[in-house]
Amino acid sequence: MDLPSFISALPKAELHVHLEGCLTPGLARTLAARNNLPLPPSLSALDQTGSSYSFHDLTTFLQVYYPNLSVLQTAHDFADLAISYLTTAHAQNVKHCELFFDPQAHTARGVPFPTVVRGYQAGINTAQRALGISASLIMCFLRDHSAEFAMATLMDSLPFKDVIIGVGLDSDERDNPPSKFAAVFQRAAKEGFLITMHCDIDQPDTLTHIGQAINEIQVDRIDHGTNIIDSPELISTLKQRGIGLTACPISNGIVTDDFKGKEIIELLRQGVRVTVNSDDPAYFRGYLNENMLKLASAADLNVTRKELIHLQRNAFTISWISSWKRNHFLQMLDEFERLTLGSEATQVLNGV
């Protein structure tokens, strides 16, 4: 089996994907037409069939990303967005997804909170029925807004605790450390939400932020966070507590000058529960398989197929699912390993 086929066939979990980042230009055009809205500037700049947005760093990415959200107006739109992503994920043999969404990006422009959550959940229900894929929602707060706005959003979410399994923190990290939201996450934990948090790549004070996330906020997971490689002390705490990292190679390579494959694999080899994910796949032009392939095909990393399976074992292990479901997926991986590797478990990929 060649490498792309191996990655395709590998049962996978996606733990770091933003639903708003799954809005393809094609779907955005459809929704703009359905809602009688003008095309957002990024789409106006593409021709009628253009299938990828244009940006070159984090700042220009955010300048395209937020205006595009104006096409999402009704619960039907949010449902279609969830179905669109889950259909692609299912085609890539992704078995379970934990989907970030940013309610404040919608409530701030007048879309009611229940419209967003009910829409996304309806889409998940439809995809689960049609495809059998497992999925759930994680609500993220926008860290470049106030802690008060985050707290108000948390209050809005309380009637939806049965469909939102956890809370996170995303958007622009500069001058917005985890500690800014300590009270919000303390309340979220009290309400029974699991907690994750973006610690973006190569940010100023990143190790301080990772330390706050682990020790002050007491996160259950960290999104990105691979700069932890520079702190043996934080790695040791991470391992002791079994906290996982959700890394995103392709997006790393676009918003910084490196995809951080070396760090991801080094952390894996040190026993950290690191995983591979797609982040904002409609923008970064890579879903989960492409992200796995990016890592696996890097000539200097010598990633083995056993390690690719291990990355997915980590993902199912740190996923927020029932132990019954986790065991089911882990057994699926064991079977895949037995069928594909047999005695070749330590085979080196490059050149194979």
As annotated, the binding site includes 16, 18, 198, 279-280
Note whether 316 and 82 are within 8 A (CB): no
Position among 156, 279, 307, 337 found at the interface with Zn ion (CB under 5 A): 279
Kindly tell me which of 77 and 279 has the beta carbon lying closer to Zn ion: 279
CB atoms within 10 A of CB 144: 14
Stretch that binds Zn ion, among 89-97, 103-111, 231-239, 275-283 (CB under 5 A): 275-283
- Return the SS3 of 321: coil
Report the candidate in 254, 247, 246 with the shortest Cα–Cα distance to residue 285.
Answer: 254
Kindly tell me which of 210 and 309 has the beta carbon lying closer to Zn ion: 210
Stretch that binds Zn ion, among 77-85, 271-279, 293-301, 303-311 (CB under 5 A): 271-279
Note whether 105 and 20 are within 8 A (CB): yes
Kindly tell me which of 14 and 337 has the beta carbon lying closer to Zn ion: 14
Residues in contact with Zn ion, shown as a per-residue x/- string from 218 to 257 under the rule CB under 5 A = ----------------------------------------
Kindly tell me which of 73 and 196 has the beta carbon lying closer to Zn ion: 196
- What's the closest the beta carbon of residue 180 comes to Zn ion, in angstroms? 18
Stretch that binds Zn ion, among 183-191, 263-271, 278-286, 313-321 (CB under 5 A): 278-286
Question: Which DSSP symbol is given to 341?
Answer: T
The reply to whether 14 sits near Zn ion by the rule CB under 5 A is no
Structure tokens at 11: 């049962």
Alpha helices in the chain (DSSP H): 3-9, 25-34, 41-44, 58-68, 75-91, 104-107, 113-131, 147-157, 182-190, 206-211, 232-241, 249-255, 261-269, 281-284, 288-296, 305-318, 323-340
- What's the closest the beta carbon of residue 8 comes to Zn ion, in angstroms? 24
Residues of the binding site for substrate: 280
- What's the closest the beta carbon of residue 58 comes to Zn ion, in angstroms? 11
- What's the closest the beta carbon of residue 10 comes to Zn ion, in angstroms? 22
Kindly tell me which of 288 and 349 has the beta carbon lying closer to Zn ion: 288
- What's the closest the beta carbon of residue 170 comes to Zn ion, in angstroms? 5
Stretch that binds Zn ion, among 110-118, 171-179, 277-285, 327-335 (CB under 5 A): 277-285
- What's the closest the beta carbon of residue 223 comes to Zn ion, in angstroms? 5
Task: Report the amino acid identity of residue 292.
Answer: M
State how far the Cα of 139 lies from the Cα of 93, in Å rounded to an integer.
24
Alpha helices in 69-107 (DSSP H): 75-91, 104-107
Kindly tell me which of 250 and 333 has the beta carbon lying closer to Zn ion: 250
Kindly tell me which of 173 and 279 has the beta carbon lying closer to Zn ion: 279
H or E element that contains 164: strand 164-170
Stretch that binds Zn ion, among 41-49, 88-96, 180-188, 279-287 (CB under 5 A): 279-287
- What's the closest the beta carbon of residue 88 comes to Zn ion, in angstroms? 17
Note whether 295 and 265 are within 8 A (CB): yes
- What's the closest the beta carbon of residue 142 comes to Zn ion, in angstroms? 12
Residues 6+ apart with CB under 8 A from 210: 199, 222, 225, 227, 228, 231, 234
Kindly tell me which of 12 and 16 has the beta carbon lying closer to Zn ion: 16
**Residue nearest Zn ion by beta-carbon distance:** 279
CA-CA-CA-CA dihedral for 228, 20, 286, 303, to nearest 10 = 30
CA dist 51 → 18, 25, 26, 122, 220 (Å): 19, 6, 7, 26, 36
**Contact residues for Zn ion (CB under 5 A)?**
279
